[in-house]
Structure 1
Amino acid sequence: MKTLLHLTVVFLSLSIGHAQTRDTTKANSSTPLNQRNGYETYQSTNQIVGAGPNSMVNTIDTRYEGLKGTPYFLPDWIKGQVEMTTGKNYTNVPLKFNAHKQQLILLRTGAGNDSIIVDANQVKRFTLNSNDGQAYVFERLPMAKTSDQALKDGYFLVLYAGKNALLKRVAKTFKSADYKNPYASDVRYDAYQNAFSYYLLKPDQTLTKVKLSDKSIIDALGDRKDDLKAFVKQENLTFKTDNDAILLIKKYDSL
């Protein structure tokens, strides 16, 4: 009789256990509190880190809006050419220029689409052929006369190359989001922004920084100022675009 009663109790216990379905939305008590992902359902607020009768419940900050901009001069892989200092050339290869880090990146399609950073000391120039037919030529100027080593180590976009050359330093700055402290500017995203600067390269390899204005460029050229001022007035150059600066230096080279 005792045996029968014992079997009955065991049977009822098993039946009840099988009749219940485990709530998988509940927080697993075996998971440490500091490893929970914020999307689990807790059985009580006492399970939440920092929660208690006299404390506030921690919340997830969802204000961050992500990243805007790109560190690259052109965001996509662009077919182009690389001329090495050794004289070897690579043609029709996929390239990217990281303007933020001043790095040329090459995609090796024959090696499982592995990308490599090309050693800048081995690069003389490279060209990016954009989809709209524009060719962007970048050069290194390790022999330029300047005290700024970063300029010798980086790349310049060649806007015009004659007796003198007009160069554009294509760079990118990075600014982090700023919204978490009481004095923040409420910028909720990280951002890459363009940082352009212009340089005049003279025949003697002197590199001079200029502004995109007639006065700055004429002063850097040094002579024939009256002729150049007359040309600016005659052509109604406003220097709102790179092309006006190119026209002015071309004019100087023709005098």
Structure 2
Amino acid sequence: MKRILVGIVVAMSNVALGQTTEDPAATLRLNNLNTPASGPLIFRVDSRYEGQQGTPYLLTSWSNGQVSLRDGRQYKEVPLKFDAYRQELIMLRPKSGNDSIIIARPTVARFLLTSPDGQSYLFSRYPMIKTTDDQLKEGYFLVLYEGKTALLKRVVKTLKKADYKGGYSADVRYDAYADANSYYVLKPDQTLSKVKLSEKSLLDALSDRQEPLKSFIKQEKLSLKTENDAITLVKQYDSL
């Protein structure tokens, strides 16, 4: 009788060992149950995060465009996106589905995007401008007007991360992209001046023709709070 009981115990032990070898998850569960200090494994998901608002791109969809490289090569009728957050020009490879490439910034001279509604956006680089700011010297500018003098716009996006954890959080549950654009006047001598859309700021940048420009502003009733008014003023400056 004792031999039979020993055989049953050995058989049960072998079954348990077999389960341990074949099912590691069972071992983990048994360990948790047999170790009161460790407690069960619980994975908590913080459901308060609400995702992302806005977009890093100037235009959310692929746009028909053109790219002119500094070595003279040109690409026409190609799908493009401008990532204003990372300041990168992205091109969709022809006949490749969703395969895209980032065009190295130093190789680009200009590129043109055309939105589905027909609006055009011409971006240019000005590596010869007189500035110690490498981001400006190597970066992209949206050309609002270009004659002897240019009115340029830096199209930039910033990203504010969600802030909802901790006792002193702002309870903002989403990441958000926002515009952080700025304006510049580029003179023929490659002097670059940062300006605001205001009469004082623009006249300071165009100070060598300030008096006739003041008369022009009054005559044309320009508010200079819009891009169109600023373009009109810089065009007038070039005509003097």
TM bucket (normalised to shorter chain) is: 0.7 to 0.9
1:139 aligns with 124
Equivalent residue runs for 1:120-131 within 5 Å: 120-131=105-116
TM-score calculated relative to the size of structure 1: 0.77
- Deviation sequence 1:67-117 (CA, Å, 0-9, x none): 001111111100100011111110000000011111100000223431000
2:225 maps to which of 207, 231, 240: 240
Is 1:178 the equivalent of 2:163? yes
CA distance in 1, matches of 2:181, 2:27: 51
CA distance in 1, matches of 2:209, 2:191: 19
How far residue 232 of structure 1 moved from its aligned partner, in angstroms, is 1.7
CA distance in 1, matches of 2:138, 2:238: 28
Alignment identity in percent?
A: 60
1:113 aligns with 98
2:67 aligns with 82
Q: Secondary structure at 2:26's aligned position in 1?
A: coil
- Cα distance change on mapping 1:31 and 1:237 into 2, 3 Å: farther
Q: What RMSD, in angstroms, separates the aligned Cα atoms of the two structures?
A: 1.8
How far residue 48 of structure 1 moved from its aligned partner, in angstroms, is 5.1
CA distance in 2, matches of 1:159, 1:48: 59
How far residue 127 of structure 1 moved from its aligned partner, in angstroms, is 0.1
- Cα distance change on mapping 1:107 and 1:218 into 2, 3 Å: same
CA distance in 2, matches of 1:29, 1:205: 69
Equivalent residue runs for 1:10-49 within 5 Å: 30=26, 47=40, 49=42
Q: Secondary structure at 1:47's aligned position in 2?
A: coil
- Cα distance change on mapping 1:147 and 1:184 into 2, 3 Å: same
Is 1:69 the equivalent of 2:15? no
What amino acid is aligned across from residue 206 of structure 2 in structure 1?
A: L
CA distance in 2, matches of 1:148, 1:242: 24
CA distance in 2, matches of 1:89, 1:108: 15
What amino acid is aligned across from residue 40 of structure 2 in structure 1?
A: Q
| Residue segments in structure 1 that go unaligned for 5+ positions in a row | 1-27, 34-45, 50-57
1:54 aligns with none
TM-score calculated relative to the size of structure 2: 0.82
- Cα distance change on mapping 1:60 and 1:147 into 2, 3 Å: same
What amino acid is aligned across from residue 26 of structure 2 in structure 1?
A: S
2:135 aligns with 150
How far residue 120 of structure 1 moved from its aligned partner, in angstroms, is 1.0
How far residue 31 of structure 1 moved from its aligned partner, in angstroms, is 8.5
1:225 aligns with 210
What amino acid is aligned across from residue 113 of structure 2 in structure 1?
A: L
CA distance in 2, matches of 1:161, 1:131: 24
Is 1:215 the equivalent of 2:208? no
CA distance in 1, matches of 2:41, 2:64: 53
What amino acid is aligned across from residue 144 of structure 2 in structure 1?
A: L
CA distance in 2, matches of 1:224, 1:114: 51
How far residue 217 of structure 1 moved from its aligned partner, in angstroms, is 1.0
